[in-house]
Amino acid sequence: MSDLNSAGAAVGGAPVGGDGPTTDAPVGGKERSASLWADARRQLLRDPVFMIASLYILVVGSMAAFPKLWTSQDPRACNTDRSRISPSWEHPFGYDILGCDYYAHAIYGARPSMVIAVMATGGIVLVGGTLGLLAGYYGGWVDTIISRVMDIVLSLPFLLGAIVFLTVIKRQNIWTLTLVLFLLAWPTIARITRGSVISSKDLDYVHAAKAVGARNSRLMFRHILPNAIAPMLVYATIVLGSFVAAEATLTFLGVGLQPPAQSWGIMISVHQVYFLEDPWLLLFPCGLLVGTVLSFILMGDALRDALDPKFR
């Protein structure tokens, strides 16, 4: 997770919301409002890498939300007589060690990973973003307390901390995994938000709003927060992929989800010993996992480039 600490540092240097829009020169006697978000949207729609990655995530998301659209097979309908039968036209992923349809298992295995990633990311954006906003805006003792708490949490090694917490809890399910990932990851987005708020609160339009009597809540959420959304969005997109990988890693290490739950991490953990004999048992879930994580990372990189005026 440490490689993501500066994921949004290059974004948000220019006002993107509030009362600070810029305008282009008049065209045809009219002034056209130039929005950073509108420019970013146009750039992203012309970016083939972003569009392909988004399409892949849309497919995986539909697998997680509506698995029956992708398969009519029951992943729990197993028969040991079919154990490790190779892929065929009727069963493109073959059968696993228990004789379950491996394609159906892969489709249903997308849900836990995506649910954990989405819930944990939503939690860190809400809590970390709020704390970072308060620390950056108020400064002083508020900033000191929040920053020291962030330093304490960031001093914990992410993987080791997750293993220790899950071992102590001794209840490995979607909720405990989400909680552990959230507790260990929120300080990074709080730091990103804090830095963006500190650089935004001294802009001219913020001082102008303060001069006409705008309250602190209006200054924070109407004028300052829009400038912090861009780096938060970039980091949140990248960390979604990191959480998908983290769930699979913790499951592979034996402290994550456990059978009879279905996830890509369980598929990799259970079938790793058969790689030399039946490599497809490992290649299929690994391919889905790598594709999902890579797609989130590519989307985050494209968002960073689109939202950073220096890349224009």
pLDDT at 76: 87
Q: What secondary structure letter does DSSP report for 295?
A: H
pLDDT at 144: 95
pLDDT at 259: 84
pLDDT at 2: 44
Q: Is 215 left (phi over 0), alpha (psi -120 to 50) or beta?
A: beta
Residue spans of the chain under pLDDT 50? 2-34
Quick one: 164 exposed, middle or buried, by C-beta within 10 A (0-12, 13-18, 19+)?
middle
pLDDT at 261: 86
Give 179-198 pLDDT, tens digit per residue.
Answer: 999 999 999 999 999 998 88
**Token representation of residue 94:** 């073959």
CB-side neighbour CA atoms (13 Å) of 235: 34
Q: What secondary structure letter does DSSP report for 33?
A: E
pLDDT at 26: 42
For 310, other C-beta atoms within 10 Å of its C-beta total 9
Give 84-111 pLDDT, tens digit per residue.
Answer: 888 988 889 999 998 899 999 999 999 9
Distance CA 293, CA 240 (A): 8
Q: Is the Cβ–Cβ distance between 103 and 71 less than 8 Å?
A: yes
**Token representation of residue 229:** 């959304």
The pTM assigned to this predicted structure is 0.83
Reduce the DSSP state of residue 95 to 3 states and report it: strand
Tokens 């990191």 found at: 242
Reduce the DSSP state of residue 23 to 3 states and report it: strand
Reduce the DSSP state of residue 48 to 3 states and report it: helix
Distance CA 217, CA 67 (A): 43
**Token representation of residue 310:** 């220096």
Element spanning 13, H or E: none
Rounded to a whole number of angstroms, the distance between the first and last alpha carbons of the chain is 28
Distance CA 154, CA 310 (A): 30
pLDDT at 5: 45
Residue (of 199, 196, 166) closest to 181 by Cα position: 166
**Token representation of residue 288:** 């889905």
Q: Is the Cβ–Cβ distance between 248 and 263 less than 8 Å?
A: yes
pLDDT at 239: 95
